[in-house]
Amino acid sequence: MNLALLALPELERARTVAVYAAIGDEVPLDAVIHHIGARGKRGLFPVVVGAELELGPDPATPARVPIDEVDLFLVPGQVFDRALRRLGRGGGHYDRLLARRRSDATLVGICYDDRVIDEVPEDPWDVRMHVVVTDRVLLRLATP
């Protein structure tokens, strides 16, 4: 998984990357976080503030970074589908965060291969990924 993710040209170009600290059965990003730091990139973690996610240098630091500084978001999901739709944990935190992103920021969904299914229901506020990376495949949004 991490090798496919580390080989993404979008990750190589990014200067600031929103990562996450895995909880439950989410894919851990320890090697990716190390890679980001070793390449001199800035990694930011989501922090729940009220009903919203904000971004900071680590989950415990009160300092917040404006979302428009993020070039690439690594987004956990319970499941994704082949159209790059995502089902999260149900709180809508990531959808609200990603709705505020810069229009040129890249969204990369992360999950295990058995979590890619044929179709995920979609609500109007859901945000689709540009790329989904699993431990076996890389799915990319088709361009017209």
The yes or no reply on domain 2-135 and CATH 3.90.79.10 is: no
pTM score above 0.85: yes
Q: Is 115 within 8 Å of 134 (Cβ atoms)? A: yes
pLDDT tens for residues 93-135? Answer: 899 999 999 999 999 999 999 999 999 998 898 999 999 999 8
List, as one string, the DSSP characters of 16-54.
EEE-----TTSPP-HHHHHHHHHTTPEEEEEEEETTEEE
pLDDT at residue 4 tops 60 = yes
Structure tokens at 81: 């589908």
Structure tokens at 121: 């229901």
pLDDT at residue 89 tops 90 = no
